[in-house]
Amino acid sequence: MNTHIDTHFQKKIITIHPGEYFSSFDDLYIATILGSCISIALFDPQIKLGGLNHFMLPTTWRENISPEEQGRFGNYAVELLLNDLYSKGAKKKNLKAKIFGGGNVLDTGTSSSNMTGINNINFAVTFLETERIPIVANDTGGIFPRKIYFHPQTAKVYLKRIQKTGMSLEQIKQQEEAYQEKLKKSQEKVGDITWF
């Protein structure tokens, strides 16, 4: 997690990375960049509290997952954020959700076997429907990465799709490939990460 003051927004920006989450009552923005990853923004409008997570894969069935790894997987990441919000006074009956990400940024124009983004989207929608948390906004899929700024007091989201021609896309592709390779090596060591 990184913190800085943004001159454009004139606000504190908390930037989260894969596996992280953050919630606040404060007048600030929680920011992240998403490729095939998903961020779920959850907020309780009654108390003006919101939070955002960032996960890479829908789920893992590993039994001995470390606390540092938990937020990388949707089945842990959403529970971590929910528990954080509940500890600050949020009520489940008041919660609303917004979903972002799940893009196929590694698409080369040919048939791709990379289903990570689609599986992440399906997990997020199914989880929230099962928990009966209404989804009030959903900007997912496609081939472009997204940069989002989430304002936890109002639940407003500023979203920018990063176009294919920029250097930023190449950096995101490299990060996605490096992160997937890291998870693949972890699977080879442990043997029980499920790839979708």
Which range has highest mean pLDDT (112-116, 119-123, 182-186)? Answer: 119-123
**Residue 92: φ, ψ to 5°:** -55, -40
How far apart, in Å, are the Cα atoms of 109 and each of 81, 104, 105, 116, 173? 35, 11, 11, 17, 14
Contact status, residue 77 vs residue 53, Cβ threshold 8 Å: yes
Mean pLDDT of 132-142: 96
- Percent of the residues in the chain that have a pLDDT greater than 90, as a whole number: 60
Q: What is the predicted pLDDT for the residue at 192?
A: 43
pLDDT per position as a tens digit, 3-19:
888 888 889 999 999 99
**Residue-wise pLDDT tens digits, 149-164:** 999 999 999 999 887 5
Mean pLDDT for all residues in the chain: 85
How far is the C-alpha of 132 from the C-alpha of 63, rounded, in Å?
27
User: With 80 as the cut, is the pLDDT of residue 167 above it?
Assistant: no
Query: Hey, what are 32's tokens?
Result: 């992240």
Backbone angles phi, psi at 32, to 5 degrees: -160, 165
- Pick the range with the lowest mean pLDDT from 53-62, 156-165, 178-187: 178-187
